[in-house]
Amino acid sequence: MKHSTESSLFGDIPLSKKILAAITEMGFEEPSPIQAQTIPIVASGRDVVGQAQTGTGKTAAFGIPIMEKLNPDSRQIQALVLTPTRELANQVAEELAKIGKFRRIKTLPVYGGQAIDRQIRALKFGVQVVIGTPGRLLDHISRGTIRLGHVQTLVLDEADEMLDMGFIEDIEDILKSVPPERQTLLFSATMPGPIKALATRYMRDPVEVSVSRENITVPLIDQFYYETRDKLDGLCRVLETETNDRVIIFCRTKKGVDELTSSLQARGFMADGLHGDLTQAQRDRVMKKFRDNQLEILVATDVAARGLDIEHVTHVINYDIPQDPESYVHRIGRTGRAGRKGIAITFIEPREFRQLKLIEKLTKTRIVRNQLPSSADILEKQRETLKGRLVTVMEQGDYTAYHDVVNDLSADYDGLDIAAAALKLLLEGFREKTDDKAAFTATGAKKTGMVRLFVNIGRAQKIRPEDIVRTFAEEADLIGSVIGAIDIYDKFTFVEVPADVAERVVAAMHKNTLKGYKINVEPARAR
Ligand code: AMP
């Protein structure tokens, strides 16, 4: 290795200061099981066949040792990663770039559908790691626009997916274009025959690694999962509808804990975070608040939650899917203690489905798919809560001071109306009656027949036009195409909708959420 020999430990694994600094910045606290097994073997130079899916930390398992070994002073391609899709190529490139950040290593994703000229220019400029889909890589090989003569490590990522997509011959052609004395690493969720054959033919005495193959028993807990691309919004919906007094939410990284904690606090949840960077005093303070019921939600990493003894947790929520089945069992074992039945909820992004299935298989339990609560569900839940509180107030009986008000009003109004109006006042607060119709007429819409609406979030919340269209369409039951001009500013957004649905949109979005943010929608004032 040419770089500094100074090293520190990631778990038990010695790493250079620069790589360790990068993964610390990424918020990793300790190696995941697949990393603990794989990194030392890859570092020793041997070939590896790894059975691991997305969500196990497999990218960093090969990425960390590769980034350690590369020579940043050479502009030759030293590592080549093959992935089945452009999405994965981008993700892997991003993760590797983060790991190699302090060694100034350049990574380049290369896939079809992207202008080839730009890729050729970038390749000419020189990068140390290329991550690409097989078709486009072959294209570059046949054009002579990529030089693979210095590749020392070749990675086949999600090999079974590449097989399913018909890339097997392309892969073989690429394998033949890379120096035979290279190191080869193969990762795959499953090991069908053709993948095994590939390994036998093109790899040298590979070491096999896998995440836990043994079966593990899971305590009796109701287990659900939600699949969504917007986990924060999904989590907020779940938290608003579940009856939860004590919730532990697990995140993969320290950074994740900090971000989620702030997001939840900003939305009014009583949440606080726990991770390895906190001092003992800070940790004790958070734990005391949680034990004393001054906190509903504890957000934690696995490391931080280890060894905590917390009673009566009603919900364990995996905001990030655990990296291995043991960790899943360990996390959810914190709910439902002492004869109480707890609930375990796992959020997955679509691509993490396989990891979920593996956990289900190895733990021999069923994790039931659930639909995220709709706005109607949330409203229903608010009504239920309100009813419950009313009953408590009536049972406490300490309200006769208000009898006079009701008595006075009953001369002119019906009792049912008085009670309902009182609840509206309680839930929605008091507003001067304005002429609602008038508010909808002069809103400064550019097109006639449209009403311009003001939404109190914007670019700062990373709102995109498609977020507005999707949410409005779903919540107000519209066809997305009727929505007109959308102008997104830093802190707010203007949206034009047809006049005949404007009131419905405002009503549907009242106190609703968009991308997890509580929002307010009202007719805009004329320009
Ligand atoms: P992968 O299985 O490679 O797709 O990784 C899934 C996610 O886990 C990515 O967001 C990684 O950044 C993250 N990750 C990988 N290794 C670790 C680790 N040791 N600790 C925490 N997060 C990790």
| 404 and 325 part of one domain | no
Residue ranges of E strands in 189-324: 207-210, 222-227, 247-250, 271-274, 297-300, 315-318
Determine whether the shortest distance from the Cβ of 62 to ligand 1 is under 6 A.
no
**What is the residue-wise DSSP string for 394-425?**
HHHT--GGGHHHHHHHHTTS-HHHHHHHHHHH
Ligand 1 centroid, distance to 60 Cα (angstroms)? 7
Smallest CA-to-CA distance from 269 within 291, 250, 246 is with 246
| Distance separating alpha carbons of residues 104 and 451, to the nearest angstrom | 52
| 278 and 390 part of one domain | no
| 122 and 255 part of one domain | no
| 58 and 167 part of one domain | yes
- Tens-digit pLDDT profile for the chain (527 aa)? 444 456 789 999 999 999 999 999 999 999 999 999 999 999 999 999 999 888 889 999 999 999 999 999 999 999 999 999 998 999 999 999 999 999 999 999 999 988 899 999 999 999 999 999 999 999 999 999 999 999 999 999 999 999 988 999 999 999 999 999 999 999 998 899 999 999 999 999 999 998 765 556 666 688 999 999 899 999 999 998 887 678 999 999 999 999 999 999 888 889 999 988 888 889 889 999 998 888 999 999 998 887 677 777 889 999 999 998 888 988 888 886 556 678 999 999 988 998 999 899 888 889 999 999 888 888 888 888 889 889 999 999 888 889 999 999 999 999 999 999 998 888 777 766 655 667 788 888 888 889 999 999 999 989 999 999 988 888 887 888 899 999 999 889 999 999 888 888 888 887 788 888 888 898 888 76
**Which of 35, 38, 59 to probe ligand 1 with, by most ligand atoms within 8 A of CB?**
59
| 405 and 299 part of one domain | no
| 66 and 203 part of one domain | yes
Q: Classify residue 92: in a domain, yes or no.
A: yes
Residue ranges of E strands in 165-283: 183-188, 207-210, 222-227, 247-250, 271-274
For the chain, the domain total comes to 4
Whose alpha carbon is nearest atom 8 of ligand 1? 57
| Distance separating alpha carbons of residues 121 and 22, to the nearest angstrom | 28
Q: Classify residue 380: in a domain, yes or no.
A: yes
- The amino acid sitting at 300 is A
Ligand 1 centroid, distance to 321 Cα (angstroms)? 10
Which residue among 409, 427, 445 closes a domain? 427
What letter does residue 372 receive in the DSSP assignment?
A: P
Which residue among 210, 245, 266 closes a domain? 210
Q: Classify residue 384: in a domain, yes or no.
A: yes
Ligand 1 centroid, distance to 480 Cα (angstroms)? 36
Which residue among 354, 373, 392 closes a domain? 373
Ligand 1 centroid, distance to 256 Cα (angstroms)? 11
- Number of H helices and E strands in the chain, helices first, is 21, 22
Determine whether the shortest distance from the Cβ of 31 to ligand 1 is under 6 A.
yes
Q: Classify residue 265: in a domain, yes or no.
A: yes
**CATH code for the domain of 478:** 3.30.70.330
- The amino acid sitting at 355 is Q
| 275 and 413 part of one domain | no
Q: Classify residue 219: in a domain, yes or no.
A: no
Determine whether the shortest distance from the Cβ of 32 to ligand 1 is under 6 A.
yes
Report the SS3 class of residue 49.
strand
Q: Classify residue 220: in a domain, yes or no.
A: no
Domain that holds residue 324: 228-373
pLDDT for the residue numbered 348: 95
Structure-derived torsion over alpha carbons of residues 302, 304, 307, 311, reported in degrees to the nearest 10: -90
434: Cβ–Cβ under 8 A, 6 or more apart, which residues?
A: none
Q: Classify residue 70: in a domain, yes or no.
A: yes
| 125 and 135 part of one domain | yes
Ligand 1 centroid, distance to 57 Cα (angstroms)? 4
| 12 and 161 part of one domain | yes
Smallest CA-to-CA distance from 253 within 58, 23, 99 is with 23
| 272 and 290 part of one domain | yes
Determine whether the shortest distance from the Cβ of 153 to ligand 1 is under 6 A.
no
Determine whether the shortest distance from the Cβ of 254 to ligand 1 is under 6 A.
no
| Distance separating alpha carbons of residues 14 and 12, to the nearest angstrom | 7
Determine whether the shortest distance from the Cβ of 252 to ligand 1 is under 6 A.
yes
Determine whether the shortest distance from the Cβ of 57 to ligand 1 is under 6 A.
yes
Determine whether the shortest distance from the Cβ of 28 to ligand 1 is under 6 A.
yes
| 416 and 457 part of one domain | no
Ligand 1 centroid, distance to 493 Cα (angstroms)? 35
**Which of 20, 26, 352 to probe ligand 1 with, by most ligand atoms within 8 A of CB?**
26
127: Cβ–Cβ under 8 A, 6 or more apart, which residues?
A: 75, 77, 106, 107, 108
**CATH code for the domain of 276:** 3.40.50.300
Ligand 1 centroid, distance to 322 Cα (angstroms)? 10
Ligand 1 centroid, distance to 27 Cα (angstroms)? 10
Determine whether the shortest distance from the Cβ of 54 to ligand 1 is under 6 A.
yes
Determine whether the shortest distance from the Cβ of 53 to ligand 1 is under 6 A.
no
| 79 and 198 part of one domain | yes
Q: Classify residue 217: in a domain, yes or no.
A: no
Determine whether the shortest distance from the Cβ of 363 to ligand 1 is under 6 A.
no
Whose alpha carbon is nearest atom 13 of ligand 1? 57
Determine whether the shortest distance from the Cβ of 24 to ligand 1 is under 6 A.
no
